[in-house]
Amino acid sequence: MVRQAKEKPIPFMKLSGSGNDFILIDNRVKVVDSKRAGALAAKVCAHRMSVGGDGLILIERSHKADFRWRLFNADGSEAEFSGNGARCAARFAYVKRIAPRRMRFETLAGMIEAEMVSEASPVASGRATGARKPDAVKVRFPDPTGLRLNLRLAIGGVEREAHFLDTGVPHCVYLVDDPDRVDVVGIGRPTRHHPLFQPAGTNVNFIKVLDPHRIRIRTYERGVEDETLACGTGSIASALLASLVAKVESPVTLIPQSGLELTVYFDARDQAFTHVYLQGDARAVYEGRILPDAWK
pLDDT given at position 7 = 78
- Looking at the fold, whether 119 and 16 belong to one and the same domain comes out as yes
Q: Are residues 44 and 103 in the same domain?
A: yes
Contacts of 233 (CB under 8 A, 6+ apart): 81, 82, 83, 141, 167, 168, 169, 171, 203
Domain annotation covers residue 131:
no
Task: Say what angle helices 83-95 and 232-245 make with each other, to 10 degrees.
Answer: 140
Tens of pLDDT, residues 205-255: 999 999 999 999 999 999 999 999 999 999 999 999 999 999 899 999 999
CATH number at 79 reads 3.10.310.10
Structural domain tally of the chain?
2
Cβ neighbour number for residue 114 with a 10 Å cutoff: 26
Does 194 share its domain with 257?
Answer: yes
Flag whether pLDDT at 79 surpasses 50.
Answer: yes
Helix%, strand%, coil% for the chain, nearest 5: 20, 45, 35
Answer yes or no: do 277 and 154 share one domain: yes
Three-state DSSP at 236 gives helix
| Co-location of 277 and 289 in the same domain | no
**Whole-number Å distance between alpha carbons of 108 and 85:** 13
Residues 271-285 pLDDT 10s? 999 999 999 999 999
Asked whether residue 26 is assigned to any structural domain, the reply reads yes
* 274 and 149 in a common domain: yes
Determine the pLDDT at residue 156: 87
Flag whether 128 is in a domain.
Answer: no
Looking at the domain assignment, is residue 177 inside a domain? yes
Residues 287 and 277 in one domain: no
Reported confidence tier of residue 124, pLDDT bands at 50, 70, 90: very low
Supply the range of the domain harboring residue 257: 145-281
Verdict on whether the full-model pTM lies above 0.85: yes
- For the chain, the first-to-last Cα distance in angstroms comes to 5
* Confidence (pLDDT) at 34: 85
Check whether residue 78 and residue 22 sit in a common domain: yes
